[in-house]
Amino acid sequence: MEWDLLEKTTFWIEGIDLEGANLGEVAKTAALALGMKPDDIMVVDVRPGLVAFDVLRRQVKAESIVGKEKEILRQLGNLAGVKLDASAVVHSEGVLGLIALGEKEGFKVLTESERMAADISKAVSLRAIVFASGSEVIAGKIEDTNSPYILQALEQAGYKTKFGGILEDNAQAAASGLEAALEQGYGLIITTGGVGAEDKDFSIEAICRLDPDAATPWILKFKPDYHRHHKEGVRIAVGQVGIARMVALPGPHEEAKLGCNRLIEGLRAGLDKSELAEYIAGAIRDRWQNMMKKGGQKHGSSHHSS
């Protein structure tokens, strides 16, 4: 579990004197005592009876700092040129102040923090927001049947849901909408539509802007004609930022329903983003292969954003 230092990056030791000590070694020893890399800490001030340090990173592991006062003093006390008084203590403000906690107090803080983090993570993971996409929906030419279905399915699965509105056919605008949902603490963000091969389809690109390593398996691939089809085919996407999942599902209602059901099953099974993406894509891919065998329409002729 990592904690943000929130600009409070300095700690200092009182009851310490240096005589011929190597400041680089002093900083390195303090860093190692706190489970950090040797260059994560530097000495920023030396006075009679006091040495101040600055942590050169924004986030620290909780277990590395809580209750580590004795360990820091022990390791520094073994360095050449470092003299510690019997009353030497570590001081700081903010998160780093937890260095000075006793062993029992430190264990209690860590245990309670982990419990709170788990509770927050669980609450966030069950907050879902669903977006429709496309100018056709905005103009009222196409009814959004996907969002009501997905919202109801998620509610039945135990999620607290919200309809997020309609995303524009623009990668930056869509990414901004998804980013706003992340900032509002939604753990599951779903879009429908905008995953096709037309030059107005940007749901995949929007997710990839927020997670460049998003899983984007193909549903169908074909050669672009650069008239209607400007991309190689149709994909879905599953991206992740922190504990939040972003999922782009197709627009056709039957595909959106199938993808939604697979999504809920995959989340229950604890699949990672790559496994989840393939689990969803595989079902939709199989559906299209079966339709083609039966002489169904080509995907591009029926795919729309809704």
Q: HSE (CB half, 13 Å, CA atoms) of 270?
A: 0
Q: What mean pLDDT do residues 163-182 have?
A: 89
Give pLDDT tens digits for 201-215.
Answer: 688 999 999 999 999
Cβ contact 55:96 at 8 Å = yes
Tell whether the model's pLDDT for residue 59 goes beyond 90.
no
Contacts 24+ apart (CB under 8 A), 277-281: 277/215, 277/216, 277/217, 277/236, 277/237, 277/238, 278/215, 278/217, 280/236, 280/238, 280/247, 280/249, 281/217, 281/218, 281/219, 281/235, 281/236
Local structure of 151: helix, strand or coil: helix
Q: What mean pLDDT do residues 257-262 have?
A: 95
Residue found under tokens 């393939």: 278
Tell whether the model's pLDDT for residue 6 goes beyond 50.
no
Average pLDDT, the chain: 81
DSSP secondary structure letter of residue 144: -
Closest alpha carbon to 256 in 298, 306, 197? 306
Identify the pLDDT of residue 140.
57
Please report which confidence band the pLDDT of residue 298 belongs to, taking 50, 70 and 90 as the band edges: very low
Please report which confidence band the pLDDT of residue 275 belongs to, taking 50, 70 and 90 as the band edges: very high
